[in-house]
Amino acid sequence: MSVLFCCCRGGVGTSEDPNERQPLLHPNLTESDKPESARKARPATRVSRSGQLVQKRVGVNVLDQRFSDVADTFNQQHESYNVLKERITSLLCTFDCNHDSRLSLNECMRKIKKEYEDSYRVTMVIKGYDFSLSVVPLKSASEVEEYLPPRLRLAQEELRSISHCAKAISAAGTKLQELIDWLLNMGEQMVEQVREVATTHQERCRLEENLAENIQEVRRARELSLGYRQQAGEVQNEAAQIAGLT
């Protein structure tokens, strides 16, 4: 469904909330990259396809709340994805595994099992949507060290965090998809609601521009979210395959 927006630029005396001038998806900005006034054209290339999602006010309470819900949910998912990558990268580095663009656990699990095969039975365990590293001593309790070796204990902690993040990403993705679908299905109804609350021509142009940018960035957030969910799903599937082989 196409959505028509008023193309108004160059208004005089327009008062804007500074938060409204922030792009929805933004990186860490340098001084030269700080957002310009809403009265100036913003090239699409200035908007990052990664980073935090920040809403712009459109003046309609129900829409502002929905955009806020999308931002909150996406930001939680984005943070979980960043932690997922960090923890997997840490695990790969700890056990000197190959590290490429894939978030793969297979090689590390083989190395962990090999390194401790004389002292511990190391396996991947699945419980519902959670997975973890099970470590069972092969020697009698009196012969086993009181504490696990640091690297093995770290592997358990990293995998616990990876599991938690993968599950959080999937859960947030489901909620986010519902929120985004609701907004995009509104179509021109959103434009009409924004026009009704505007008291001046300048305000109408500003709010319509905010709405247009919100919708554009919500679409980009949806694309990023789908990628996050796919990566998380691959990690969960790989963990299940590893568990089936151990």
CA distance 107 to 142: 32
Question: 25-71 pLDDT, tens per residue?
Answer: 544 434 444 433 333 333 332 334 457 888 899 999 999 999 999 99
- Is pLDDT larger for residue 169 or for residue 34? 169
* pLDDT greater than 60 at residue 206: yes
Residue of 94, 90, 88 lying closest to 111 (CA atoms): 94
CA distance 197 to 188: 15
- The pLDDT assigned to 20 comes to 53
- pTM for the predicted model, two decimal places: 0.76
Residue of 151, 153, 162 lying closest to 231 (CA atoms): 162
**Across residues 202-206, what is the average pLDDT?**
95
Question: 134-168 pLDDT, tens per residue?
Answer: 999 887 655 555 678 999 999 999 999 999 999 99
Report the share of the chain in percent with pLDDT over 90. 64
- Is pLDDT larger for residue 74 or for residue 140? 74
The CA distances from residue 29 to 34, 40, 194, 204, in Å, are: 6, 18, 30, 28
- Is pLDDT larger for residue 25 or for residue 236? 236
**Across residues 223-239, what is the average pLDDT?**
95
* pLDDT greater than 70 at residue 12: no
- The pLDDT assigned to 17 comes to 54
- Is pLDDT larger for residue 215 or for residue 142? 215
- The pLDDT assigned to 98 comes to 76
- The pLDDT assigned to 168 comes to 98
- The pLDDT assigned to 38 comes to 37
Question: 87-97 pLDDT, tens per residue?
Answer: 999 999 999 88
CA distance 76 to 93: 26
Residue type, 79: E
Average pLDDT, the chain: 82
211 pLDDT tier (thresholds 50, 70, 90):
very high
